[in-house]
Amino acid sequence: MIRPLEVFIGLRYTRAKRRNHYISFISLTSMLGVALGVWALITVISVMNGFEKELRGRILGVASHATVTGLSGSLSRWRETAAEIAGQDHVVAQAPYIKGQGMVTKGRDAHGVLVRGILPDRERKVADIAGKLTQGRLDALKAGKYGIILGSELAFALNAVLGSKVTLITPQGQVSPTGMLPRIKRFTVVGIFEIGMYDYDSALVFIHLSDAAKLYRTGKRVTGLRLKLDDIYAAPQVRRALIKNLRAGYLVRDWTLEHANFFRALRIEKTAMFVILLLIVAVAAFNIVSTLVMMVTDKQSDIAILRTLGLSPARVMGVFMVQGCVIGIIGILVGGIFGVITALNVETIVPFIEGIMGHKFLEADVYYISDLPSDMRWSDVITILSTGLVMSLLATLYPAWRASRTQPADALRYE
């Protein structure tokens, strides 16, 4: 196979044994540095992707893709509104809800909660609450029976199980001879759910819509309608269409607005991690610079001979660019292979390490989730490998330029 002279000489120099073993050591550390940086980048970015995907899935499993409510904070004719929305593109289901604050007590334990009144048959079409139940059934919420579904962390804190009696206290008061008193009602635990996010598992409860209407005295009014879409990324488009098509007096929001700050913070964190870890590759690239500078010094006489044989300065420059790129490419490939393997097996590797260390990395009461997810995207892998290759190429420019400036007479004077 015919190869350009620069590539042939550059590869020969890369494989050749060097008189100075320190240069070989620096070459190896440069290669390992690039590999380590690429490995870390692929793994961490994949974990950040998985973290975002997992949180989005869990949040939207409980929250809604979009909500429609009145400007006053409630809807009085929700069935008519639901019928208007039914024909909207991407909307596949709607469910009414009543939202309110409360406090759940059992014995001496009391915890503040967010109460959501739902219609079980409609709610299962817009959210996967039924699939998150570890005990009980969603259908056990029946009008007038005052059943309640608790999050797993809340149930644990209250020491509540199926059939337990808990008291729900709401701030909507009632007049008594002694003044205003909060409304208090006894509920029976008919289900326990686990989303995997501490904020929901410890502070969200579900009751039947009619029970919530009585408790919060909303009558036939509901807080709003929760919508499910066939494409979550079409939410902004659906929101704009509903604002245009519905008559005045409605407030439409989608998940990209409701959780905008949260997901923006995740993206900023991902970008920051990418930049920070890219510094590892940058440091390795500086090592490539020092390696090639020492190689140029070591090969002064060889360069001079090549120049006297007619090799142009540009082609001399190409020789050392090839040599530096080989170091970078090997490091990138090694790091890429290990990075992909690690990213694809994070969910197996992390529990294994946790078992050895006897310590869980993500505590549910501190972080949003308790497991370390991973979502490797080939677009990210290609971006990381390309960035590493560009940095390695840039690192070769100065040493290669120095080599091209070598004067044969000066280099061979004392040979």
pLDDT digits (tens, 9 = 90+) for 9-24: 666 666 555 555 556 6
Residue 408 has pLDDT above 70, yes or no: no
Mean pLDDT of the 180-209 span: 88
Residue 365 has pLDDT above 60, yes or no: no
Q: What is the pLDDT of residues 371-383, one digit of tens each?
A: 678 889 999 999 9
Tally Cβ neighbours within 10 Å of residue 71. Answer: 9
Q: Are strands 250-254 and 91-106 parallel, antiparallel or unpaired?
A: unpaired
Beta-carbon contacts of 397 under 8 Å, excluding residues fewer than 6 positions away, are 321
pLDDT score recorded for residue 70: 86
> Which among 127, 66, 73 is positioned nearest to 258, based on CA atoms?
66
Rounded distance between C-alpha atoms, residue 268 and residue 339, angstroms:
22
Rounded distance between C-alpha atoms, residue 208 and residue 227, angstroms:
18
Number of residues written out for the chain: 415
For residue 153, give the 3-state DSSP assignment. Answer: helix
Rounded distance between C-alpha atoms, residue 203 and residue 103, angstroms:
9
Show me where the domains of the chain are located: 5-58+262-412, 72-248
* Least reliable range by pLDDT among 17-31, 281-295, 329-343, 396-410: 17-31
Q: Pick the residue with more confidence: 408 or 200?
A: 200
Mean pLDDT of the 96-103 span: 93
* Least reliable range by pLDDT among 305-314, 334-343, 378-387: 305-314
Q: Are strands 147-151 and 179-193 parallel, antiparallel or unpaired?
A: parallel
pLDDT score recorded for residue 103: 93
Written as six digits, the tokens of 410 are: 């000066």
Three-point CA angle 336, 286, 8, nearest 5°: 70
In this structure, the dihedral spanned by the alpha carbons of residues 43, 49, 55 and 57, taken in order and rounded to 10 degrees, is -120
Share of the chain above pLDDT 70, in %: 85
Q: Are strands 224-229 and 165-176 parallel, antiparallel or unpaired?
A: unpaired
Burial (0-12, 13-18, 19+ Cβ within 10 Å), 134: exposed
Q: Pick the residue with more confidence: 326 or 21?
A: 326
Mean pLDDT of the 68-89 span: 86
Helical ranges in 235-376 per DSSP H: 235-245, 255-258, 260-298, 300-308, 313-344, 346-357
Per the CB < 8 A criterion, the answer to whether 141 and 118 are in contact is yes
Rounded distance between C-alpha atoms, residue 275 and residue 269, angstroms:
10
Rounded distance between C-alpha atoms, residue 148 and residue 116, angstroms:
10
pLDDT score recorded for residue 407: 67
Q: Pick the residue with more confidence: 180 or 183?
A: 183
pLDDT score recorded for residue 415: 54
Q: Pick the residue with more confidence: 302 or 79?
A: 79
